[in-house]
Amino acid sequence: MKVIKIGGNVIDNPQALDEFIDSFSKIEGPKVLVHGGGKVASKLATDMGIEVKMVEGRRITDDAMLDVVTMVYAGLVNKKVVAKLQAKGVNALGLTGADANVLLADKRNHPTIDFGNVGDVKQANGDTILKFSEMGIVPVFSAITHNGNGQLLNTNADTIASEVAKALAKLTETELIYVFELPGVMLDIKNMDSVVENINVDKYAQLKLDGIVADGMIPKLDNSFEALKKGVSVVRIASTYYINNENTKHTSLVL
């Protein structure tokens, strides 16, 4: 089982998205896709006169903003991706965490910041996800979950990918691949040959100290190591090219 996560930069670039869809459709065997939201939600919010508030790189999600991300992530982006995959012969099924109760989350309780309707995954329902897969269906997750009491919650897509992979790893051998616009973790972002091919926990600590791993890459790597510790057999950070050619340079995470 391969769990592939694509970032918002792929979603925002129509050519990159079509290339990714094509690559993803060629992956053999069971697979799951998790996608981020891209910049459309912020643009729509601005068009609607809703203020966009970010704190520590995370979106403050009041009720109006939850409606916006639900429309954009679970509606527009998810259904466009699903329709494009169907056109490539992939029997995609778009999901939020509420659908078939695949992902339960708790509203984030932060000591000083009120993130609003933001959720942290409490439970991924691996049995249902695997059953869909056994039907020949490819689950496609948007970054919306629910709390089981009727409340939808905006949830980080990297975390969803990691939680889905961990739940599946209990049932079948599972790989997790974060696909983005670069070949992997880079020592020098301007030098495409500077990919760090292997990162273990010690090296990760050093890369953080050196400021090479920073910002959004930190939760991505935290999620990666967490997934490895919980039984996911392989975690990689790679470009779209890696998907169909495993000789493409990329970053492998090791404990």
In angstroms, what is the minimal distance from the CB of 37 to its own copies?
11
- Nearest residue to 177 (alpha-carbon basis) of 220, 127, 208: 220
In angstroms, what is the minimal distance from the CB of 251 to its own copies?
32
Contact residues for its own copies (CB under 8 A)?
Answer: 44, 47-49, 67, 70-76, 78-80, 82-84, 86-87, 91-94, 96, 98-101, 128, 131, 135, 137, 144, 146, 148-152
Give the helix, strand, coil percentages of the chain, each rounded to 5.
40, 25, 35
Rounded Cα–Cα distance for residues 156 and 119 (Å) = 8
In angstroms, what is the minimal distance from the CB of 119 to its own copies?
12
In angstroms, what is the minimal distance from the CB of 88 to its own copies?
8
CB nearer to its own copies: give 76 or 234.
Answer: 76
Query: Are residues 174 and 227 in contact, defined by beta-carbon separation less than 8 angstroms?
Result: no
Rounded Cα–Cα distance for residues 189 and 94 (Å) = 33
Strand 234-239 relative to strand 92-95, pairing: unpaired
Rounded Cα–Cα distance for residues 204 and 213 (Å) = 8
CB nearer to its own copies: give 134 or 210.
Answer: 134
CB nearer to its own copies: give 19 or 222.
Answer: 19
| 46 C-beta neighbours (distance < 10 Å), count | 12
In angstroms, what is the minimal distance from the CB of 216 to its own copies?
24
CB nearer to its own copies: give 95 or 196.
Answer: 95
CB nearer to its own copies: give 47 or 193.
Answer: 47
